[in-house]
Amino acid sequence: MFQSAISSKINNTSYKKEVNDKLHWLDKRYHTLNYELRKIFGEKVFKLSLDGGFTCPNRDGKIGINGCIFCSDKGSGEYASDRNLSIQKQIQYQINILKNKWNGKKYIAYFQNFTNTYAPINILKEKYETALSYKNVVGLAIATRADCLDDDVIDLLEKFNKKTYLWVEIGLQTIHDKSAKFLRRGYDFSLFEEKVKKLREKNINIVTHLILGIPNETKEMMFESIDKISEMDIQGVKLHLLHIIKGTDLEKYYLENKFKLLEKEEYIHLICDILERLNPKITVHRVTGDGSKDTLLEPWWSLDKRSILNGIDKELKSRNSYQGKYFQKTK
């Protein structure tokens, strides 16, 4: 099994020794995706953002028609390829873009837009297989929802998990059901817990999304979300700044209510607080989120990713801190 070949379990003793010796994962003080993929594949691996042509039960009328409040008409896939192109043409297009910056040799096909397990099994199988058939594609990343992981879908994912590197992304955003109702997520946290258990029974890796700065969520509530994720059998996390995309219902709500958005320095300090609490075994896939210049309404400072990442590095260094420093204290 592919997963058996790449799995590595880090106990707290060995982790603390590593931290004491290096205080970083490669060039960082937190467990980055770059570090994790280099450990598995021996080199840098690049994600190719694809649009599989799927929709979402929160848009097609099954549970809603307007989607999550923050979601654009691209299904939170602002940087994915054109869904009118075939999967193979999308992959080649993404590779061509990457070649202008990096000379990548290995890729993960990332089904990003909308809900990428929301289709008949034969369609899912065909799309995943098509992506894997492309030269140098060494894995799959599949973004979905907890309410679109029926047993037959999980069985299909298990088959792919046995032959390639795979993770499943679930857009949780928050553990607090009151906040989830504001976001129009469409399912309760208890369902997320149930699906995590089922996926992990099949040894399928899970990455979950959390949004920081949801209206009426306090810092303590955000800490509760990260503490709960740290205690669960979850392998990765994406931390997103709440940002407002033009044309979304969140834009309408913001213009009507003018709720406070996080400031840059405030966000950097918050991320460092969260990293200190986060289980060091969990891979950090990202520490911010933004829209494109054409679609972003606020906050504009979020477009300067380099400055944000450098700010996080600088703050962790000034604290002499690292991911998981206080993890034991929050269990």
Structural domains in the chain plus CATH codes: 2-323 (3.80.30.30)
Render pLDDT for 106-133 as a digit per residue (tens, 0 to 9): 999 999 999 999 999 999 999 999 999 9
- Six token digits for residue 180: 């989830």
User: How many C-beta neighbours within 10 Å does residue 70 have?
Assistant: 22
Render pLDDT for 248-283 as a digit per residue (tens, 0 to 9): 999 999 999 999 999 999 999 999 999 999 999 999
**Is the entire prediction scored with pTM above 0.85?**
yes
What's the CA gap between 266 and 222, in Å, rounded? 14
The pLDDT assigned to 103 comes to 78
- What would the mean pLDDT of 187-195 be, rounded to a whole number? 98
